Amino acid sequence: MTEEQALAAHEAAQQLQLDGRHTEALEALQPVIDHFANDPLDLANVLCDHADSLLELCRYTEAETETARAVALIEPLLDQLDPETRGLLAIRAYNLHGRSLRELGRYPEAAQPLLTAITEAERANGPTHHSVASQLNNYGVLCKYWGRFDEGEKVYRRALAILKEIYGPEALETATIYHNLGGLEHTRGDYAKGEPLGRKAYEIRRAALGEDGEHTIADAVAWGGLLDGLDRFDESIPIYRRALAFQEQRFGPDHFEVAATLNNLGMALANQGNIDEARQIMARALAIKQSLFAEDHPEVVLTRRNFEAVTAL
């Protein structure tokens, strides 16, 4: 493969990613990885692309291996990189490595690369740049899963302040932060505080992207979880059914997002007294998560506990 062919193949693979065709993108990227084997910076960049698709396909162990390799290639060269290259490639590699570790439930290990991504973003762009808000958000997600709620809220609020200042209080860019603040309160158990945040994320996204946008659907599901915490199942169950139909078509029947929505739907149905359907749905949610994660992963533990509770009814 010539240099020109490698660059063309890389561009074609990136287009496959934009089209959501991640399995094909992985195949297209492999010869590009081979071509750049002796060029650490280009190789690290292509490995990050490869890891993006692996994460989309829930292949987290492979993504962690790829991103660890990318970081190892970049770190010895950091001080030699021009500011623009460092500001793009280092941030991306550290962020993807932290995300991969987070998805594997390795929360203490995930903290360092995600914090390094924040530091690199501040170094490259200053403390109030939108890239800093993005990295703060990624670390906030880790804090939620890790149970460090006060720290997570603090970094989310800092990210929200940055984005409001840049884009305005009702801008689409703020929706992700409202979504995640609502999710943090859901995990913390303060549903009354979280419900307006989740609803605001959904309303901003719906106004900008429409009712059937992928991110609108995700916001609706998150809001549904907060409605469940307030025993508003008549409102949440239609949200889950609609989201499930969308996710199965968009991602396939065995994707993590499908399992997460099934888990929510099953528990809502059980709370409404529809036990038979709830058991079937929870069994499917558990099977999907077991196919994606180890038995001791927090997502498997959560859904297994819910399944056992519904089965006992």
Q: Express each pLDDT in 133-163 by its tens digit.
A: 999 999 999 999 999 999 999 999 999 999 9
Residue 63, in any domain of the structure: no
Residue 287, in any domain of the structure: no
Whether pLDDT at 277 is above 90: yes
Which residues, at least 6 apart from 196, have a Cβ–Cβ distance to it below 8 Å? none
Per-residue pLDDT tens over the stretch 9-44: 999 999 999 998 999 999 999 999 999 999 999 999
Q: What is the mean pLDDT of residues 79-90?
A: 93
Q: What is the mean pLDDT of residues 95-123?
A: 97
Helix segments in 3-87, DSSP class H = 3-18, 22-35, 40-56, 60-74, 83-85
Q: What is the mean pLDDT of residues 223-232?
A: 96
Structural domain count of the chain: 1
Structure confidence at residue 303 (pLDDT)? 93
The amino acid sitting at 184 is L
Q: What percent of the chain has pLDDT over 90?
A: 92
Which residue is listed with tokens 């419900």?
195
CB atoms within 10 A of CB 5: 12
Structure confidence at residue 131 (pLDDT)? 96
Q: What is the mean pLDDT of residues 259-268?
A: 95
User: In which domain, by residue range, is 141 found?
Assistant: 126-230
Structure confidence at residue 294 (pLDDT)? 86
Residue 68, in any domain of the structure: no
Tokens standing for 84?
A: 């623009």
Residue 118, in any domain of the structure: no
Per-residue pLDDT tens over the stretch 118-131: 999 999 999 999 99
Whether pLDDT at 312 is above 90: no
Q: What percent of the chain has pLDDT over 70?
A: 100
Q: What is the mean pLDDT of residues 168-181?
A: 94
Residue 186, in any domain of the structure: yes
Whether pLDDT at 297 is above 90: no
Structure confidence at residue 162 (pLDDT)? 98
Per-residue pLDDT tens over the stretch 187-197: 999 999 999 99
Residues 275-295 as b/e (b if ≥16 CB within 10 A, e otherwise) read eeebbebbbbbbebbbebbee
Which residue is listed with tokens 């880790």?
142
Tokens standing for 283?
A: 């069994």
Rounded Cα distance between 174 and 167, Å, is 8
Torsion angle, alpha carbons of 187, 188, 193, 199, to 10: -10
Per-residue pLDDT tens over the stretch 229-239: 999 999 999 99
Predicted confidence band of residue 247 (pLDDT cuts 50, 70, 90): very high
Tokens standing for 79?
A: 């001080």
Residue 90, in any domain of the structure: no
Residue 113, in any domain of the structure: no
Residue 210, in any domain of the structure: yes
In 3-state terms, the chain is what percent helix, strand and coil (to 5)? 85, 0, 15
Structure confidence at residue 58 (pLDDT)? 87
Structure confidence at residue 313 (pLDDT)? 82
Q: What is the CATH number of the domain that holds 211?
A: 1.25.40.10
Do 288 and 259 touch, CB atoms closer than 8 A? yes
Running DSSP on this structure, what letter comes out for residue 2?
-
Do 267 and 311 touch, CB atoms closer than 8 A? no
Q: What is the mean pLDDT of residues 246-267?
A: 94
Whether pLDDT at 113 is above 90: yes
